[in-house]
Amino acid sequence: MSNAGADPTHPSPIPPFGSGAPLPVVIDTDTYNEVDDQFAVTYAMLRSDRIDLQACYAAPFQNKRSQSPADGMQRSYQELLTVYQHMGRPSEGHVFRGSDAWMKDTGKPIKSEAVRDLIDRAMKRDPRKDGPLYVVCIAALTNLASALRIEPRINEHIVVIWLGGHPLNWPTAREFNLEQDLASTRTVLECKAPFVYVPCKNVAEHLRTSLPELAAHVRGCGAIGEYLYESVREYLGEKPGLSRSIWDVAAVAVLLEPALVPLRAAKLPALRDDMTWDLSRLGRTIHEATDARRDLIFSDLFARLAHVQDAVPAR
């Protein structure tokens, strides 16, 4: 990954690709919200050569698939248990319930078992000897923001990869993950931890697929392949011509190799109350994803799923 133009006091948060042991990773996810988080968690598990997935945290969300942030978090927790089961992975000590309310409602951090685990897991690491903990966020940022407010020292122990909002030059940043809990979004954007930003528009949205493609390359790949396919079929329907962005996969692909999700060094603008970027107020240097190479990412994901069918038999 090129670090040209980056602030020399803010080194690249991504170590050399393909070197050393797999990176320690936790994923913060509103897994039941749509159907892409399940693919992202599965992909992280399938890339154990690069990713040591240590824990997953259920994040709150509220839309037509949940009655409240607490209900969304609980549904996401149950969905994570299902993904772990279909992958033949133990969930005990690896899957945690997250925040059951928005931080914006009180201005105070929301305590949860996920927040405690994140703090404990991060603080146990010596960044100089062990390297940082990589926190992949594909949801509203309530869990991470709460952890940062409870224990600010984790800034020095983590690298944040967040998928949400839109590019820094886009007319608006308004997007589901960003707007659900604006106080948490601002807390994370203004934190001191190294930050990799994966926008949705014109970047993660490139990861579009269709039911026929998933039928050809995902269905039949063990229990998890059947589950992923059926989840999309039920969510999307079988009308001709429909497709779906499985965009949360981009946040995982950042950690795999630089060709999959190219990054650039950029100054982070302030976020206005109307959820637009204020380019007149530039803050710290971050890494912003500029593309998500759809064919490369899906080719890798499908190839790895193809090997699951013998390891985890379909039910």
- The pLDDT score that the predictor gives to residue 312 is 45
Q: Is position 238 within any domain?
A: no
Residue 243 has pLDDT above 50, yes or no: yes
Q: Is position 98 within any domain?
A: yes
- Enclosing domain of residue 149: 23-208+244-306
Q: Is position 314 within any domain?
A: no
C-alpha torsion 257→260→265→270, nearest 10:
-120
Mean pLDDT of the chain: 91
84-105 pLDDT, tens digit per residue, is 999 999 999 999 999 999 998 7
Residue 163 sits at the vertex; the CA angle it makes with 115 and 216, to the nearest 5 degrees, is: 110
Residue matched to tokens 């950690």: 255
Confidence of residue 6 (pLDDT cuts 50, 70, 90): very low
Higher-confidence residue: 295 or 307? Answer: 295
Residue 299 has pLDDT above 90, yes or no: yes
CA 195 to each of CA 13, 154, 213, 243: distance values in angstroms, whole numbers, following the listed order: 8, 13, 33, 30
Residue 91 is part of a domain; what is its CATH number? Answer: 3.90.245.10
Residue 132 and residue 54 in contact, taking contact as beta carbons nearer than 8 Å: no
Q: Is position 315 within any domain?
A: no
Residue 152 and residue 177 in contact, taking contact as beta carbons nearer than 8 Å: no
Q: Is position 215 within any domain?
A: no
- Say how far apart CA 254 and CA 263 lie, in whole Å: 9
Residue matched to tokens 């948060």: 13
- The pLDDT score that the predictor gives to residue 13 is 60
Residues 6+ positions from 246 with CB-CB distance below 8 Å: 35, 36, 39, 40, 207, 208, 209
Average pLDDT for residues 127-152, to the nearest whole number?
95
Q: What are phi and psi of 197, to 5 degrees?
A: -105, 125
Q: Is position 256 within any domain?
A: yes
Residue type, position 104, single letter = K
- Say how far apart CA 192 and CA 256 lie, in whole Å: 24
Give me the number of domains the chain comprises. Answer: 1
Stated pTM of the model: 0.93
Average pLDDT for residues 203-225, to the nearest whole number?
96
Q: Is position 131 within any domain?
A: yes
Q: Is position 312 within any domain?
A: no
- The pLDDT score that the predictor gives to residue 17 is 53
**Sheet strands (E) in the chain:** 23-29, 51-58, 95-97, 133-138, 158-163, 195-198, 208-210, 243-245, 263-271, 277-289
- The pLDDT score that the predictor gives to residue 220 is 92
Residue 57 has pLDDT above 90, yes or no: yes
